[in-house]
Amino acid sequence: MGYAKPIPVVIDENRPFWEATKRGQLLLQHCRDCGAYRYPASVLCPECSSTAFDWKPVSGRGKVYSFVIFHRAYHPGFADELPYVVACIELEEGSRLMSNIIGIPPEQVRCDMPVEVVFEEISKEISLPKFRPVAGNFIAINQAPSIGPPIPPNRPMP
Ligand SMILES: [Zn+2]
């Protein structure tokens, strides 16, 4: 069986991004006038409306800006992965993109957690950028003491 989830649509505007992820590289548009990186691909800089840009590689490192844990499959292709994390990643370069956090139980994901990009090949044409915790950070979270004693089972009212 092939890949059962929706696949990104490659058009001229975003083709360099998807060609780069295929090579294991994160490439974003970089405004020649104000220097802002941007994602998703667009003809205008959202900061200064300039149409002048280059494609530049970025570090692939960033932090979790915000996230949600999906417990319900809104598309049948995701049913086997529940629960999973959809996160807004703020890259070191300042741009934000939506992706998944992988390699960590969903309940351990935190805002501001340092993450790095990894690439998941889903077809001959497409590799998806996903993010995992930076190694040291993941270990620290795993070893963190739990918060307080376990909650006791319900007791009958006196
Ligand atoms: Zn600009």
Measure 31 CA to ligand 1 centroid, in angstroms. Answer: 5
Q: Is the pTM higher than 0.75? A: yes
Measure 58 CA to ligand 1 centroid, in angstroms. Answer: 17
Does 90 map to a domain?
A: yes
- Percent residues over pLDDT 70 in the chain: 85
In 10 A of CB 114, how many CB atoms? 16
How many domains are there within the chain?
1
DSSP letter at 86 equals: E
Domain containing 108 equals: 15-143
Distant-in-sequence, close-in-space partners of 75: CB < 8 Å, separation ≥ 6: 5, 6
Does 157 map to a domain?
A: no
Query: What does the pLDDT read at residue 88?
Result: 98
Does 61 map to a domain?
A: yes
Residues that place a CB less than 5 A from ion ligand 1 = 31, 33-34, 36, 45, 47-48, 50
Does 69 map to a domain?
A: yes
Under-50 pLDDT residues of the chain = 139-146
Query: What does the pLDDT read at residue 152?
Result: 54
Measure 16 CA to ligand 1 centroid, in angstroms. Answer: 19
